[in-house]
Amino acid sequence: MKRLDRYLLSQLMAIFGFFALVLVSVYWVNRAVLLFDKLIGDGQTAWVVLEFTALTLPNVIALVLPVAAFAAVLYAINRLSGESELVVMQAAGASPWRLARPVAIFGLIVAAMMLVLVHELVPASRARLAERQEQVSQDVTARFLTEGSFQSPTEGITVYIREISDQGELLDIFLFDARSSTSETIYTAEKALIVPSDAGPKLVMFDGTAQTLRKSDTSLALTRFADFTYDLGGAIGAKVRGRVDWDEVSSLDLIAPPPELLAATGSTVAVAHLELNDRLAQPLMAPVSALLAVAAMMLGRFSRLGLWRQMVLAVLALIGLHSLSNVATSMTRADPALWALLYMPAAVGLIFVAAALSWAGRRRKSPAVTAAEGAA
């Protein structure tokens, strides 16, 4: 690697580290505050809040890295221009294509980081987060059941437990369910147990009665039972883990998803391949964003006021590129057969980069060189 490449690459990596740290911190703190309010309000500990925020971190980093790479290139080129280093490089014969080479290497390094994130860390963290959310939801369900007092975990539900034994048995339980608009039911039992299940926690009551008042004719129905199962999770709105999302599945499983995985997701092989192509396309945005920034900055000449016009152009180009990416994503979600559109934003970005660098190279040729080339 040439000395010029090493110098520019070291500048870009240092600035990239700063911007990545700042952007990740902003996103992460914002997410942490929302989780803190929700989880602490549900009675969870600070350790659970820290665990949840840590599990959201890989996805935040994957979202931030292309933007941080873009901002690092803009800042580095503008600073080199302001300190006249860029002018010296160009006067020494460095063309826009030559100056873009270390930026391309820098973009590939960021893309390699994103490959690890989107194919390994993000799916693993999302799967673990979904699992922990289900566990915490069931813990919240049990927390509402306290002995010696009437509890109303949600509108229309009232629970009273005389005592909770050392074995976890709920002794002398009273449950009033008035959620229905047509009837009200009072359940009483000598004892009950909370049993976790895939469909949410269940309250299993033993040796009790169910008194149902029908509001239409004010009739009362009395039912005695030896055991009765009540959907406690559904009654208080506990979160139940339903279908598995594709973003929780590793990339290797997306290549040839087994039938049990398709059943768990309730989807098709085409959708799995769409998710895989989406993950392959995401890292491409890092080098394209970096090259987009350097190509736009090369369009300007030295100015003591800075290259703010070129910076505005670069930002607008990036916004347009992300808008195109959103459109492509929407179209592919509607029809997975259009998966090739996921690579369109990167292709369009590279075309813009090539055109801008070629235009900048022609503009920087001196009139003498241009005349000599024409005579030849």
- Does some domain include residue 216? yes
Q: What is the residue range of 158's domain? A: 145-236
Residue 152, domain member (yes or no): yes
Q: Is residue 209 part of a domain?
A: yes
Question: Cα–Cα distance between 327 and 321 in angstroms, integer?
Answer: 10
Q: Is 49 within a domain?
A: no
Domain contains 21: no
Find the angle CA(229)-CA(230)-CA(235) to the nearest 5 degrees: 165
Which strands sit side by side in the sheet containing 150-154, from one edge to the other?
A: 150-154, 157-164, 170-177, 183-195, 202-214, 219-231
Number of domains observed in the structure of the chain: 1
Query: Residue 295 falls within a domain, yes or no?
Result: no
229 in any annotated domain? yes
The whole-model pTM stands at 0.71
Is 232 inside a domain boundary? yes
| Greatest CA separation for the chain | 106
pLDDT digits (tens), the chain, 376 positions = 578 888 889 989 999 999 999 988 888 887 777 777 666 655 566 677 778 888 888 988 999 999 999 999 999 988 887 777 777 887 777 788 888 899 999 999 999 999 999 999 999 998 888 888 777 766 655 555 677 888 877 788 888 888 888 877 889 999 999 888 889 999 999 999 888 776 667 889 999 999 999 988 888 999 999 999 988 766 665 554 557 788 888 888 888 888 888 888 888 889 889 999 999 999 999 999 999 999 988 886 655 556 778 888 999 999 999 999 999 999 998 888 899 999 999 999 999 999 988 888 776 654 444 433 343 3
